[in-house]
Amino acid sequence: MQHAPVEEIARSVGIARGLIYRQFSSKEELFVLTVTDYLDELHEVLTTAVARARKPESRLRRCAEAFADFGLRYPAFLDCALSLMQRPAEQLQAMVSESVWWRLGQGMARCIDVLAQILRDGVEAGEFTASDPDYLANVLWTQGLGVLHLARLGVGVRRHPAGVPVLFEIDRERLIETCIATALALAR
């Protein structure tokens, strides 16, 4: 959608191009609002996933698993999130209205705070040693997006002894376990 002309977007939803510009100041704004819809849904998924667990380690495991499952179930979310990360925040902020920027920030902060709160609780319980839970939550969020991109590609590359690059299949379940193990290792 980010690279599609506005005319194509309007045609695909069955409206006139002018209606898009009447509601959104730019195509980027439409794109960012699409991301915020995904973030709202992801927040609900993460909150529900961690609500059933008591211990911070179990909550972190469930959070990482729910995040990975969501990203694999909704590849457009992954595309949107990675696309937003391709430009500096100041540049994106200049392209959208203040209210849209606020919604994006709120959506991301709500999702990342689920993870940060688990890390804070784990530090308080003596299970984790994260010195800055908010920082670590942002690192885990970004790493998770990268791992999900690898899962979506489904292939890795290695160097064959003859010096030729060779592709190999990446197992999604193994990557989900890697997300969980990485989150736990960094938190500890």
The residues, any chain, with a CB within 8 Å of residue 175's CB and separated by 6 or more, are: 68, 147, 148, 150, 151
How far apart CA 22 and CA 3 sit, in angstroms, is 20
* pLDDT-wise least confident of 26-30, 117-121, 127-131: 26-30
For the beta carbon of residue 118, count every other beta carbon within 10 angstroms: 30
Query: For residues 145 and 81, is the Cβ–Cβ distance under 8 A?
Result: yes
For the beta carbon of residue 4, count every other beta carbon within 10 angstroms: 13
- pLDDT of amino acid 96: 84
Q: Is the pLDDT of residue 7 over 70?
A: no
Rounded mean pLDDT of 82-98? 85
Task: Report the predicted TM-score, pTM, of the whole model to 2 decimal places.
Answer: 0.81
Domains and CATH numbers, the chain: 26-187 (1.10.357.10)
Distance in angstroms between the alpha carbons of the first and the last residue of the chain: 39
